[in-house]
Amino acid sequence: MSEQETKKQKTDEPAAEAAGAAAVGATPAAAAAAASSGGAFVAGEASGVKGTTPSSPEEVAAAVKRQVEYYFSEGNFAKDKFMQAETAKTMSSG
């Protein structure tokens, strides 16, 4: 890690710590956004949009299904550099 990256990481850490439980498994930037928005993660909704947390197993299953369908959709693929890189690896090794 370069010195510049280390400095940036150190400046991002307080935001992640301030986000508390919202920061679990999230990047510092995502945790800071979650902390500032005050809303909980709701599958299938854009970041920063407040919603209700699924309360029944059926609602949770539907929310997970919507999120997975979005993640693997053509619309998201066009923007998702990680998924494009993984797909390219798979295509070149097959």
Report the distance separating Cα 30 and Cα 35, nearest Å: 9
Over its C-alpha atoms, the chain yields an Rg (Å, rounded) of 17
How far CA 56 is from CA of 19, 61, 86, in Å, comes to 26, 9, 34
**Which residue reads 């850490």 in tokens?**
13
Q: Which structure tokens are listed for 46? A: 């854009």
* Tens digits of pLDDT across the chain (94 residues): 566 665 555 555 544 444 444 434 445 555 555 555 455 666 666 655 567 888 899 999 999 999 999 999 999 999 999 999 999 998 888 6
